[in-house]
Amino acid sequence: MNEVNILSKDKVEKGSRWIYSADFNVTQPLRHNQRVDREVDDIKTISEAGGIVLILPHQGRYGKTKSLQFVADHLGAKYFDGNVGKEAVDFASSLKAGQIAIMGNTRYNEGEEQNSVELAKEFTKLGEQVVIGGFGKAHRVNASNHEILNHLPGYIAQNHLDEMLMLEPWTGRKDCSIAVLGGIKKEKITVGLAGFGKLYTDIIPGGIVVNNILKLIHGEVGSSILEDGGSLEEKCRKALQQSTAIIHIPDEVLVAEATETGYKNFGLVDLRKKKIQKNQMIVSYIVPDSAKRALDRCVYKNGRMLIAGTPDLYNWGMGLATNEVVQRLRNCNGLVLGGDTAQELDYDGTVSTGGGSALHYLVNGSTPIYEKLKEKFRESTKT
C-alpha cells in the first residue's frame, strides 16, 4: 500500500484544517451504525493531534436530500447546514484546534454527482488537505471525493484501507465460489452479474437481477422491479452471454400484488406452466435444487460465499430464498456486502458496509477513488 498517502502515517499539525470526505449515507435512528462508527477513529486521529476536521458527508441524491444534523448529534460534533459560499468558509475558519464539524449534505449541490470542477474548487476553500474516508462511495466519481483531489493533497483514511484489505480474500477466481446478487440497484447487474459471471463458479440471482433474467426468458414478469435509472435488459443479456458461471434460475416464484401498505393476494407460480399477471410482482422464489447443492458444496469445501442484497423481500417477511442461503452462509467462509443487508440478516460475520464499492473492488481489484489517489501520489513524488 506504499502507493497512496495514508492518514495514519502522516503527521497532523496543530491547527491544520482537514476536509474529511465521509460516507454518511444513513437514515435515522442511528444507534450503533457501522457505516458511521467505522470512520470515528480516523476523525479522532486528526482531532486528537490538534487538527480541525471538516466533514463533507453525502446522503441521498440531488433533490432528495436531508439534513445530517442527526449524525452530528450522534458524534457530538458541530454542525453547519451548508458547504459552499462565504458563510460556510467563515464557519470553517472559526473552528479551533481539535474541533470537529459536519458540513451540510454535499448532495444539496447539483454538481456533486457530476464531479463538477467548480463545486470541488468551492469545497477546497474549507481546508488545506483532504482525507478520503467512506469506502462506501469509493466507486462514485463525485466532486467531494474525486475532483477535489485535483486541487488539494489527498490521503486515504485507515478505515478505507482496512476495508480493502478485508475484502482481498474474496477477489479473483477460486473454485467453489458463490455470489448471491439481490436487491434493486443496477450495480447488481452492471458490476455484479457481469463481473462475478467471469470470476465465480456459481451465481444465485435475486431481486432486480432475477427479475431481468426471468423477463428475458419468459417475456413477462408483471410489475416486478426491472429498472434503476433506465432499462437494464440489454446489460443483463450481455452479462448472461459472457458468463462462465452456473446461474441458478428459479422455475417457481412467489408473487403478490403491491399496495400502499404492503402486499396481498400471494400465490406460487410455476413459470414452466403459467405466466405472471401484469398486476403481480415477484417477491420471493423457491431455490432450485441445483443451487441448494452448490450451497452445500460450498459449506463442505469451505468455499467462499458472498451476499450482495437479499434475493427476496426478506425484510417484509418473505424469505423462501434468503433463508436457504443464510443457513449455509453461517457455516462457511461468508461475506455480506452492505450494512443494511447485514442488519436485515442479523449477520455477525464478515461485513463490508460499502455495498456498491465492495462489488466494484471485488470484480476489478481496485476502485476509481483508489486509482485517483494513486495517480496524485505518483505526481507528488516525481523528482
Could you write out the DSSP letters of every residue in 47-61?
HHTT-EEEEEE--SB
- Residue 327 corresponds to which cell in the numbers above? 443457513
CATH fourth-level superfamily of 172-252+282-364: Phosphoglycerate kinase, N-terminal domain (3.40.50.1260)
Residue of 19, 43, 56 whose CA lies nearest to 98 = 43
The more confident residue out of 330 and 312 is 312
Whole-structure pTM value: 0.88
153-186 pLDDT, tens digit each: 999 999 999 999 999 988 888 889 999 999 999 9
Average pLDDT, the chain: 93
Residues 178-201: b if buried by 16+ CB within 10 A, e if exposed: bbbbbbebbbbbbbbbbbbbebbb
What is the CATH architecture assignment of 7-161+366-381?
3-Layer(aba) Sandwich (3.40)
The more confident residue out of 48 and 27 is 48
Domain ranges of the chain: 7-161+366-381, 172-252+282-364
Dist CA 255 CA 276 (whole Å): 8
The reported pLDDT for the residue numbered 342 is: 81
C-beta contacts of 24-28 below 8 A and 24+ residues apart: 24/55, 24/57, 24/58, 24/59, 24/68, 24/71, 24/102, 24/134, 25/58, 25/59, 25/60, 25/136, 25/137, 26/59, 26/71, 27/59, 28/70
- Identify the band that residue 62 occupies on the pLDDT scale cut at 50, 70 and 90: confident
The more confident residue out of 31 and 297 is 297
236-288 pLDDT, tens digit each: 999 999 999 999 999 999 999 999 888 999 999 999 999 999 999 999 999 99
The reported pLDDT for the residue numbered 383 is: 54
Does residue 92 carry a pLDDT above 60?
Answer: yes
Same fold, 7-161+366-381 and 172-252+282-364: yes
The reported pLDDT for the residue numbered 215 is: 97
**Quick one: what percent of the chain has pLDDT higher than 90?**
79
Dist CA 281 CA 341 (whole Å): 21
